[in-house]
A and B are shown apart, each in its own frame.
Chain A
Amino acid sequence: EVQVVESGGGWVQPGGSLRLSCEASGFTFSIYEMNWLRRTPGTGLEWISFISGRSLTIRYADSVEGRFTISRDNAKNSVYLQMNSLRDEDTGLYYCVAGGKNFDHWGQGTQVTVSS
């Protein structure tokens, strides 16, 4: 059974940082491309970052470029999102999703709240 489980969300003040983690199982993680998406009140569902199986290709949405960093550890079947310089508009439910541009397997999401 495929499972994708996010963790690391929480409340943070504007300008602060958070690191999200995602652990996956039930598929060959090392060959799967992975993404982070989010659902925010202002934007709806938004793709924010992509990483290829061997981390050779990484992409970001303009809204997070320069502030967020995606990485993965295939030995741990995990992908991470380091989020710095957080803004109010980054508040939302963050999903870890397996797949390239077809989002095959989703987690339940982890809530990030940026507020003073």
Chain B
Amino acid sequence: IQMTQSPSSLSASVGDRVTITCRASQNIGNSLNWYQHRSGKVPKFLVYDASSLMSGVPSRFSGRGSGTDFTLTITNVQPEDFATYYCQQRFSNVPTFGQGTKLEMK
């Protein structure tokens, strides 16, 4: 299953609202996860089942979607949110990732 993210990079200012899109090449239901990878840190599991936040993830993060189209939205972007975000499908026994979206400071 191919996962396609857009955009590949995104510039934003603190306080902005940003949305990242992920599209699956086939219907994956809600079997979609999101990860955050900050420079110098280990990747962090943010969202599971398309819209459920992992414990400790701030409520400014939200995930939506089902089937083939998904979004991750960050409202009121904070300095610690500048990172690369990846979607990942867990529908098949071969988990696959999107190519990543780098959120940069404007």
Contact = CB atoms under 8 A, between A and B. Distances in A.
Interface stretch (A17-25, A69-77, A79-87, A101-109): A101-109
Interface residues of A, number: 18
Contacts of B90: 100-102
Interface residues of B, number: 18
Interface in B79-94: 86, 88, 90, 93-94
Contacts of B93: 59
Contacts of B100: 44-45
Interface of B: 31, 33, 35, 42-45, 48, 86, 88, 90, 93-97, 99-100
Interface of A: 4, 44-47, 59, 61, 95, 99-108
Nearest 8 pairs of A and B residues by beta carbon: A101-B90, A45-B97, A106-B42, A106-B43, A47-B95, A44-B99, A101-B95, A102-B48
